Amino acid sequence: MKNYVKEGQKLPMFGIGPYLVYGMGMLTLMGLIMSGNVLRSGILEGAWIIVFRIVGIILMVIGVYVWYIGALGSNMDENIIENILKTDGIYSWVRNPMYSGWWIFMIGLKLMWHNAWLFVIPVINWLIMTIVLKNTEEKWLFDLYGKDYEEYKKRVNRCIPFKRQ
């Protein structure tokens, strides 16, 4: 599938998304692999296992839901093709629901391993997302939408879905 669908389309269909998600996924996978040997000292025992697994499953489901609503339930492809800033639906809660969904899913996945050392990976992934998005997609969107995008940024969080008052 090509990254631009029609003549005059200003933004790429996928942007840096696949690279960003693959990078976060590889970091998560490395942490999970190291959890069983190098980082073994961080494994929590007892009731923590159940707590972490329940919270992990809940976060994985939330992550899939946020990604689904942003990617497939929002008609975002049409907005990209027509050069229209998407600010309603899930996009009124979070500016990057597809990345956020993956990030939340990966946090849940890490919790399934109930290893305290893995707590650092979501922070690193959040930093990676923030740096990459500020230096790529946010610049593209500002160049295209200007003041409208600046106002949108003031109202809606980049990565963590919540409704600002």
Q: Is residue 2 part of a domain?
A: no
What is the DSSP-derived secondary structure letter of residue 40? G
Which parts of the chain register pLDDT below 50?
A: 1-2
CB 128 within 8 A of CB 24: yes
Q: Is residue 106 part of a domain?
A: yes
Quote the pLDDT of residue 3.
Answer: 62
Q: Is residue 5 part of a domain?
A: no
Q: Is residue 162 part of a domain?
A: no
* Count of structural domains, the chain: 1
Quote the pLDDT of residue 39.
Answer: 82
Count, residues in the chain? 165
